[in-house]
């Protein structure tokens, strides 16, 4: 796994979280995290186009070996689930076109791998990522970016099955 670059993606049509880690000396190092943000009232097609174009550009720059994305999970808001599903589709297409291996992890599995608790809250994940990578409290780390970093990290910490 040495030298492997893993891009974690937290899918969403309003904010798509990205977190890039690289394995150096058998240890994960945080390289970059941020979000692709779309215009709130833009038509869904324009949001998806923006996400696609921005992601294609970033994939060509950072050249990850693996892209890990969260599987779709929703409880009540079906409209939100469709929107997230469409964003996931755009991400999967961009990865396939760039010949990047894709892995997926379910939200409950992610929380269990990182925190040992499938019912952990978003704030718990954010705090875990801050502590694990020693990210200064003054640096902005939103939920979407923290989730994306966690998704990438899960590929390193997850026991082989």
Q: Which of 22, 34, 144, 147 is catalytic?
A: 144
């718990």: which residue's tokens?
Answer: 124
Specify whether the CB–CB gap between 7 and 66 falls below 8 A: yes
**65 is annotated as an active-site residue:** no
Alpha helices in the chain (DSSP H): 44-62, 78-97, 107-115, 122-132, 143-157
Order of strands, sheet of 101-105, starting from the edge strand that comes earlier in the sequence: 27-37, 15-24, 5-10, 66-70, 101-105
Check if 147 is active-site: no
Among 34, 44, 53, 70, the active-site one is 70
**Number of residues in the chain:** 161
User: Does 70 participate in catalysis according to the annotation?
Assistant: yes
Which one from 10, 22, 34, 147 is the annotated catalytic residue?
10
Active-site residues, by number, are: 10, 70, 144
């Amino acid at each position: 796994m040495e030298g492997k670059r893993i891009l974690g993606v937290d899918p969403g049509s309003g904010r798509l979280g990205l977190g890039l880690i690289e394995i150096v000396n058998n240890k994960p190092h945080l390289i970059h995290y941020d979000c692709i943000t779309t215009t709130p009232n833009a038509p869904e097609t324009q949001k998806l186009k923006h996400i696609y174009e921005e992601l294609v550009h970033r994939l060509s720059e950072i050249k990850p070996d693996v892209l890990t994305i969260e599987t779709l999970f929703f409880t009540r808001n079906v409209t939100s689930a469709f929107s997230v599903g469409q964003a996931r589709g755009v991400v999967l297409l961009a990865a396939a076109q760039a010949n990047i291996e894709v892995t997926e992890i379910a939200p409950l599995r992610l929380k269990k791998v990182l925190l040992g608790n499938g019912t952990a809250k978003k704030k718990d994940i954010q705090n875990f990522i801050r502590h694990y990578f020693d990210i200064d409290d003054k640096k902005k780390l939103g939920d979407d970016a923290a989730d994306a970093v966690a998704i990438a990290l899960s590929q390193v910490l997850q026991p082989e099955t």
